[in-house]
Amino acid sequence: MTARTFDAIVIGAGQAGPSLAGRLNAAGMSVALVERKLIGGTCVNTGCMPTKAMVASAYAAHLARRAADYGVTLSGPVGVDYARIKARKDKVTIDARTNLETWIASMKGCTLYRGHARFEAANMVRVGDDLLTAEKIFLNTGGRAAVPDLPGIHDIDYLTNSSMMDLDVLPRHLIVVGGSYVSLEFAQMFRRFGSEVTVIEKASRLTGREDEDVSAAILSILENEGISVHLGADDIAFARQGGDVAVTFSAGQPPAVGSHVLLATGRVPNTDDLGLDKAGVAVDTRGFVTVDDQLRTSVPGIWAMGDCNGKGAFTHTSYNDYEIVAANLLDNDLRKVSDRIEAYALYIDPPLGRCGMTEAAVKKSGRRALVGQRPMTRVGRAVEKGETQGFMKILVDADTREILGCSVLGPGGDEAVHCVLDLMYARAPVDTLARAVHIHPNVSELLPTIAQELKPLG
């Protein structure tokens, strides 16, 4: 056994871990960075980068099939080479991971340990035969796909977002269980690759955290592409049927029979096998590490960042966690999680960009509010591109004129929403947006127009 003492130990090399290791190292600290699987975590290896690379391929196939709509002729039918799609996706991932590994190796005061870290005490971590000690320990262990305990689930071969990345054949019929962000991105991309796709969701609508009009628009987008969606599904069960899988749901409904099943029913934190009890680190009922507004755990000298703390399940929130910890520790700059405005995107096509409160949340708050909305059919840029599904909506406090939230479902929605998000961080009134002069023709040029057409929220 080898025992070593460091100034800091960072457990997990996802989005926050390596960045924090770099800052600590640059500040003169000796750092141990521990990773049990792949450098880069979910985003680089099984999340953002590989899936968005595949979304890009799916979009190219979809646009090619619509070539005639734009007056473009093709010599034959549009085909999909899934092996090349996977190879392109793999290269994007491998290049990103290699760049991270090279950067980490360049840190002279950082030692990379590959293995499973477990606490022996509040300041002591074991990695294989190595015993590491430090006064500061940072958790960045991420999360993984939740596997629901449904009848027959252990009798079939199922896929998760991670194993989907290793799939080397195009499913004949992909059945997706779950109706939220991960599931819908996979559903649309594989439909565009040529698979038959069925989505089964137990809730009464898709993307339950969104407003009902957003959910309805997303459902319409998917059904327009030939994706079969079943909502309000209960009593979901699985069984083998020859070489296929039969998924039964809702009495009276015929089973969905497919070649592959993707489970996309949520995420759980990677905290159950870290020995947190030996360190005295508190977790909530779902297993997320309990942290305060500066990401300190219940044990002095231990912090938790990223998906394992339940404060955000996105790459950008994980990176912001690193910024908060580094600012407080190294820069004498008080930064807090509570300063963060919720913002994220759903990368179907067209994408959804979201920031701040939903309409439902605003109504629940009881405040007087205003709303402005415009369909993409009345957005010149969307019409010119032939992509008119979706709409834009802005929510405003009627008394303070503060922007409360925004949804942009349409072409470039994931980018356009930042026009509003930045104003929210600046605490600028909606009138600032209303008087801004945006570039024509663009989707975001209609945001000032919407800001001038606000009406009371009913």
Catalytic residues: 440
Q: What are the tens digits of pLDDT across the range 92-137?
A: 999 999 999 999 999 999 999 999 999 999 999 999 999 999 999 9
CATH class of domain segment(s) 153-265: alpha beta
Q: What local confidence, expressed as pLDDT, does residue 87 receive?
A: 98
* Distances 256 to 101, 148, 201 between C-alpha atoms, Å: 43, 18, 13
pLDDT digits (tens, 9 = 90+) for 18-63: 999 999 999 999 999 999 999 999 999 999 999 999 999 999 999 9
DSSP H helical ranges for 249-397: 276-279, 315-330, 359-365, 380-385
CA distances from 285 to 11, 118, 289, 307, 318 (A): 22, 20, 10, 15, 21
Task: Supply the pLDDT for residue 384.
Answer: 97
In whole angstroms, what is the distance from residue 404 CA to residue 177 CA? 33
In the predicted model, residues of the chain with pLDDT beneath 50 are none
Which amino acid would we find at residue 288? F
pLDDT digits (tens, 9 = 90+) for 151-163: 999 999 999 999 9
The pLDDT, as a whole number, for residue 458 is: 87
Topology match between the domains 153-265 and 343-456? no
Q: Domain 2-144+268-339, what architecture?
A: 3-Layer(bba) Sandwich (3.50)
pLDDT at 150: 96
Q: How many CB atoms lie within 10 A of CB 372?
A: 23
Q: Could you tell me the fold of the domain covering 343-456?
A: Enolase-like; domain 1 (3.30.390)
- Determine contact, residues 27/330, Cβ cutoff 8 Å: yes
The residue extents of the domains of the chain are 2-144+268-339, 153-265, 343-456
Q: Please tell me the distance from the alpha carbon of residue 407 to that of residue 207, in angstroms, as a whole number.
A: 13
